[in-house]
Amino acid sequence: MKLTGDRYEALCADLDDALRALVAPLECDPALWTRRPARRPTAWSAGGHVAHLALCLEDARAGLERALDRLRAGALPPPPRRGPLEALFVRIAVQGGRLPRGGRTSPAFEPPAQATREDVLARLAREGRRHRALGLALAPSDRDRLWAPNPFRTSWHYRLPEMVRMHAVHARHHAALVRDIAAG
């Protein structure tokens, strides 16, 4: 799928599909929310993976909204050039849809200890809708011009279509981890 502003609705539909795949096991088995991997009892619970995603979407959306204010004011510069490592990551992870396991997240994106299922699922759904609305309010060319720092590596960046695609890849990555927890 092309990661351009004119493909934004399809990218949002892909994100919606990925978020549904993430929460589907938890809707079938609400007790899965607190279950952790059998071989790694200190790892995140299935619900922790969903809470992590909600935090990531919230942070990215806030960054995009700040950038949108700058874009509307004519103060957002063009996206910075990508170095070789960033370009490789975008090609493999964002375009290719492959995110390796075992990475560490920033403490800002660690799931809170007391996140309730209802609150997290509502936040996740709301953030998906907010990403969609943010881009649909823009012309395709403005979607391509809008960019914000990568929430995990702030010296890197994503354009809006890339950000939405990365969220879908990230959600599928965590959906696989949730399925592994469910399988025991």
The full set of domains in the chain, from first to last, is 5-183 (1.20.120.450)
Rounded to an integer, what distance in angstroms lies between the CA atom of residue 85 and that of residue 82?
Answer: 8
Rounded to an integer, what distance in angstroms lies between the CA atom of residue 115 and that of residue 118?
Answer: 9
Per-residue pLDDT tens for 2-21? 999 999 999 999 999 999 99
Per-residue pLDDT tens for 127-183? 999 999 999 999 999 999 999 999 889 999 999 999 999 999 999 999 999 999 999
Res. 41: pLDDT tops 80: no
Per-residue pLDDT tens for 70-111? 999 999 999 999 999 999 999 999 999 999 888 888 888 999
